[in-house]
C-alpha cells in the first residue's frame, strides 16, 4: 500500500493552543496537500505545498515539507472550537493521490 501515515491519531487541546500533526508518505511527490473533514461531510482542501517548497503559510495554518524524510507537518495556531475535525494529508504523484490515515483533532472550548 502507498497509503501514508499520520500521527498522532487523535489530539485534544484547549482553545487558544497550537495543534501540530505530522504526516509521512512513501513515494516521490509532485506536491502534498492537507484536507479537513468535519463529521459526516466530505473533505475540504486547506493548503498545498509543492515538492520544491519547504514551508508555506495560509492564515493560521503553517505547513512544512521535508522531502528527504518524506514527511510533512501541519501547524494550526490559536486553535478554535470550530477547528474540531479530522485532518488528512494527501501526497500527489502523477494522476493519483495517497491519503494518510488522519488525525482527529478536538479543541475544547
**Contacts to other proteins by CB under 8 A:** 1-4, 30-31, 33, 35, 40-45, 48, 88, 90, 92, 94-102
How far is the first Cα of the chain from the last one, in angstroms, to the nearest whole number? 38
Rounded least distance, CB 64 to other proteins, Å: 19
> Cα(12)–Cα(21) distance, rounded to whole angstroms?
11
Least CB distance from residue 16 to other proteins, whole Å? 29
> Closest approach of Cβ 101 to other proteins, in Å?
4
Q: How many angstroms separate the Cα of 21 from the Cα of each of 29, 88, 96? A: 19, 9, 23
Amino acid at each position: 500500500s502507498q497509503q501514508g501515515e499520520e500521527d498522532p491519531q487523535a489530539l485534544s487541546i484547549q482553545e487558544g493552543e497550537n495543534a501540530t500533526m505530522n504526516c509521512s508518505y512513501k513515494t516521490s511527490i509532485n506536491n502534498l496537500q492537507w484536507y479537513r473533514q468535519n463529521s459526516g461531510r466530505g473533505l475540504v482542501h486547506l493548503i498545498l505545498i509543492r515538492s520544491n517548497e519547504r514551508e508555506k503559510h495560509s492564515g493560521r495554518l503553517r505547513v512544512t515539507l521535508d522531502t528527504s524524510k518524506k514527511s510533512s507537518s501541519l501547524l494550526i495556531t490559536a486553535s478554535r472550537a470550530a477547528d474540531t475535525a479530522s485532518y488528512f494529508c494527501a501526497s500527489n504523484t502523477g494522476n493519483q493521490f495517497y491519503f494518510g490515515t488522519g488525525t482527529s483533532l478536538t479543541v475544547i472550548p
